[in-house]
A and B are shown apart, each in its own frame.
Chain A
């Protein structure tokens, strides 16, 4: 497969996952508002911080309020990670790879783009936001389902797996970071009764993990077991460890993957190390940040191995 085609497929999967994750992240915060005591002022701006978008955001808005944050994450064309921008990027990637991805993907992506454009205000205003986000999440799942049942397990498939799982692992670190940031903010607040439980409960629900968590951990919802579950569970599809395993399997099916496999294994070790000593606080947030950097490094490795436009260093394929 052409490197460029592989790269486009990989990015199509990443953007799709990013859209779903962004929608889920907003759902977490949205739902938290219902459960928190009225006196508590939850910082929506946290969502900008955990996505490392402070700079882009400040160029666009001066007020760091709910409306602006939500607008920026959903519909802002200047934010490359917004749902709007991601959909545009997916369309460009799918358009140029239609021969290796099931044809219906194109139509489904077009439908979703249209929906988002036509209903954006619904997502920005709180009253219908849930419905809007829910539609986005379900559309993403429909596309992933289509791939699951109709794609041959060829190079395109493995590239989709790589993109999807890398983005997913990245977003799980950001979800964790969002939760910890919220907890730290509420720590000293006398009204924040049971805030930990409320926050983690929402995080778990937003990734459909509440039942699996209970079955796997057999514990009530508390900082350490939730974090441990989302980081290192080997069966839950959104845990970081699981995503890494998927990436390793995908890499094994691809040529010249020795370095990637070694990198994934190394990253897995540091992920497991994180779970040894969990203490909610700044130190843990720093560790999550380190993980994000490592995931980025993995992307860089994938790009160098399979996509890099300067192939001078490559040997001639046999």
Chain B
């Protein structure tokens, strides 16, 4: 027996990305569902094995660092793709561009006049207490007024079928290489389906990234020197750093490969001598960038890098200080920020957010901890969270104390009914599993959005945790044009 969509058990109250009711696929997924339904057990099994061996051959891995050893784990991948219609995607990507454009104007304003505060849109203390606000960046003018050039925005579909923004990652978002690899795996595993369905390609990202970075170069040149700055092999995203450098034909460097000369320009150390660097796509955090300015213990950074950047001798993407907008309290103000700078209504809504520094809202949060998700304002990767419905009384009491002690640092959101998509379980069964989506947005002079993004899926039944370090997997994401059917 093959996959039987009539037996697909939709979860009550959750939106499923592919199946609208048992036996019925949504329009963009119809051909896929038919195709998969027509495969025998053995065929499905052999596709699954093909996917696993492709992953191994291509060396797609993520690194888990534990007990002083690097462990490369094969990338967990589900062969049933997640599908979004191109009409929907057009709207969503316009919303993502809008959001990043406004956020960049916000960051630029914060490091200059701070009109957004003077005009009472965002309260001053949000900025004063933000650990990601960098006084060292005040008055700097990055090209095009853009600070966050690469953004990974996490979006989710709630029970109502609508996309919401969950968070903006403006520091060093990762995952785009897996989005690209997922597509290459898919092409090898289900080649036939690509002939039938009009699936938008995703492969232009490295080119778009390269062009965006090149446009930041302080020197007028056809071939600016671009490098990818990695913390090194022990970083969990090292695979991606190497992947992107290779795809762009850029050098992959570590801090010790660079130096700042007496002329306050950045150079890389090559066997032929020093070569000037124009653009640094940095994948290390602000605090480690330059021991002269930030963490003096940092071995990862380059002494003098901030001097070179402030002088405009080198471009940094993302710019230092861009993380100030990557704060969950700021997040709550993004709709207002969009209206303020662009005079437009936000195209993608935020998830309803309660700010604990506000007395009334805090009261509500403390009284409803069992229903809410509480997040610290400046952590990333899902650390330090309280998921109310899955928490114990003891945990809730502990969180209540944390919130009272430092209300600025906490926000709360209603528990979302994260959408699901069919995921292969065992030999021939598809079951719904929860997922999210991380598209990547680029901005310099113009902006760009990936076609779809990285779909992360919680492989465990009922789980909402999609992080790969905690049992999450991923799926290829298809943007399907239903009007331009292939014959």
Contact = CB atoms under 8 A, between A and B. Distances in A.
Contacts of B233: 92, 95-96
Interface in A1-54: 1-4, 6
Given A3-B257, A4-B257, A314 B59 contact: no
Contacts of A259: none
Contacts of B405: none
B254 interface: yes
B177 to A, nearest CB: 14
A284 interface: no
A294 interface: no
Interface residues of A, number: 24
A60 interface: no
A316 B274 contact: yes
Contacts of A4: 253-254, 256-257, 269
Contacts of A106: 59
Nearest to A255: B272
Contacts of A95: 233
Contact of B269 (A96, A98, A256, A311): A311
A168 to B, nearest CB: 22
A275 B267 CA distance: 47
B269 A2 contact: yes
Given A3-B257, A4-B256, A92-B233, A306 B246 contact: no
Given A4-B256, A4-B269, A312-B259, A317 B275 contact: yes
A6 B261 CA distance: 22
A306 B271 contact: yes
Interface string B20-57: 00000000000000000000000000000000000000
A309 interface: yes
A155 interface: yes
B246 A316 contact: no
Interface string A216-260: 000000000000000000000000000000000000001110000
A194 B238 CA distance: 58
Contacts of B267: 311, 316
A254 B270 CA distance: 12
A118 interface: no
Contacts of B259: 311-312
Interface string A74-106: 000000000000000000100110110000001
B273 A1 contact: no
A88 B133 CA distance: 42
A315 interface: yes
Nearest to A311: B269
A82 B276 CA distance: 40
Given A92-B233, A309-B256, A317 B270 contact: yes
B273 A155 contact: no
Interface string A274-318: 000000000000000000000000000000001101011011110
Interface in B46-78: 59
A250 to B, nearest CB: 12
A96 to B, nearest CB: 6
Contact of B242 (A98, A307, A312): A98
A254 B246 contact: no
A315 B269 contact: no
6 contacts: A2-B251, A307-B271, A316-B261, A316-B275, A317-B273, A317-B275
Interface of B: 59, 233, 242, 245-246, 251-254, 256-257, 259, 261, 267-276
Interface of A: 1-4, 6, 92, 95-96, 98-99, 106, 155, 254-256, 306-307, 309, 311-312, 314-317
4 closest Cβ contacts across the A-B interface?
A: A317-B273, A255-B272, A306-B271, A317-B272
